[in-house]
Amino acid sequence: MKYTKVNNAIITELSKIVGVENVITDADVLDNYAHDETPLYHTLPDVVVKPSATAEVAEIMKLASEYVIPVTPRSGGTSLSAGAVPVYAGIVLSLERMNRIKEIDTKNLMVVVEPGIITEQLGIELAKHDLFFPPDPVSLDSCMIGGNVAECAGGPRAMKYGVTKHYVLGLEAVLPTGDVIRIGGKLLKNVTGYNLLDLIVGSEGTLAVVTEATLKLLPLPKVVIALLVPFKCTEDAVGFTTDVLKVDCMPAAVEFLEGDVYRLAGQYLERKLPFNEADAHIIVELDGNDKNLLKKQYDKIGDIALKHGALDVFVAESAKDKEKVWEPRKKTSEALKTLTNPVAREDLVVPKDKIPALLQKLKECAAKHEAQLYAFGHLGDGNIHADFAYPKDAHISDERLAHMRKEVYEITLELGGALTAEHGVGLSKIRYLEMALSQTELELMKQIKKLFDPQNILNPGKIFTSL
């Protein structure tokens, strides 16, 4: 596909749509939109445009369609698959100004929001009404709902509450042609025709630009308790998790930090963390409305932990203590970026009982390529984040990196897993997609993309190398 480069005439047209002050061409500012949180990917857009309403998004897409200009939708820019990198330059369509909560419907337990609202800020506003939106990406202090919908984000609470797609009931979206569609609404059931809603959720901004979302909410739990449970080894931690999930006290989250990444987080925080010598750390979060019932549950979990060789069980009930328990997990990404050179940030998923084998094989792969493996993630649903890193001043060739990543995916697939659980394919996993999907599946997906976007102008270069 041959695209039109954005010129002064097009910039003038964009300025008429959103105002001169919301069209960015300064190179220094453009650089902020040339990358996301994925290592090694960087492309400068021709222009960044910041609409404030659906009608403006529609006009921008009509202009892009007329001139065949690539458009990369962007919310918080926290993607870990290079999904927000403007591969073909063109227009970055930043939705950060569309950040309003349009309605909190306490009768139907729903909220209507624009895509640019920060996930944590939404949570703060909902809490004022004793409600919450369960999906909780670890980057919730900076990620936005639009990106959560585009990637079908999960997070620690996904084990109990599910992921973003389980809460999206309605969408307003702009197609590549500039046409505006509304799908679903304040309905818990709807089987009228094909499920276009679930097709757009998780499509990584390649099919439509989401401009409004209607989300299902739940009552906010009155009591939340966190447990920190250190183990000598991963096998003990996995055995503990398996047994916990068999009893009648479903945790909201079961998070995992291997010893190396836990100690790296302590180095970043400039303090020695408790149970620093352990090689596996589990964070269990329980929530509910009956404190006495939760106490019985964490006592039961504590007994299971000790049975599996836990070094201790630390119970955190106060906000301060809970923050201490969660801080190493929440700071993991910053620690890796600051103290190492993470060249591959994978979000692999396998059956839970295969996690010890996965980690062992990944360590062998990392050692073979002289890299350090840092493993952490959502042990409760088998989703492990595996970061392969080198020292800050080290260099790895593109060829070697590609070979290492191919081996990582081979290991994962052999264990019955998948290449990505919540980060998406984006740009970073394109070349490996054929390892996981059949040609029939890929062709079906490409045909869907062609129906929505025949000119391939919306987030081109993501998921597929060609159509």
The C-alpha atoms of residue 135 and residue 140 are separated, in whole angstroms, by 9
pLDDT of residue 465: 81
Q: What confidence score (pLDDT) does residue 132 get?
A: 97
CATH architecture group of domain 223-332: 2-Layer Sandwich (3.30)
| C-alpha dist (Å) from residue 439 to 335, 419, 432, 436, 442 | 39, 16, 13, 10, 5
Domain 340-432, CATH number (from 3.30.70.2740, 3.40.50.300, 3.30.2010.10, 3.20.20.70): 3.30.70.2740
Domain boundaries 8-97, corresponding CATH code: 3.30.43.10
Same fold, 8-97 and 340-432: no
- Sheet with 314-316: list strands edge to edge: 314-316, 223-231, 280-288, 253-258, 372-378, 383-390, 341-349
Q: What is the DSSP string of 64-126?
A: HHHHT--EEEESS---SSSTT--TT-SEEEE-TT---EEEEETTTTEEEE-TTSBHHHHHHHH
Q: Which token pair is 406?
A: 């191919």
CATH of domain 101-219: 3.30.465.10
Looking at residue 366, its pLDDT comes to 96
Which sequence spans correspond to the domains of the chain?
8-97, 101-219, 223-332, 340-432
Answer whether residue 276 shows pLDDT above 80. yes
pLDDT digits (tens, 9 = 90+) for 68-78: 999 999 999 99
Beta bridge partners of 218: 132
What predicted TM-score, i.e. pTM, was given to this entire model? 0.94
**pLDDT greater than 90 at residue 11:** yes
Each residue of 444-456: pLDDT tens digit? 999 999 999 999 9
Q: What is the pLDDT of residue 388?
A: 96
CB-facing half-sphere around the CA of 221: CA atoms within 13 A: 17
- What pLDDT shows up at residue 467? 80
Percent of the chain with pLDDT over 90: 94
**Helix axes 291-307 and 234-244, enclosed angle (nearest 10):** 140
pLDDT attached to residue 202? 97
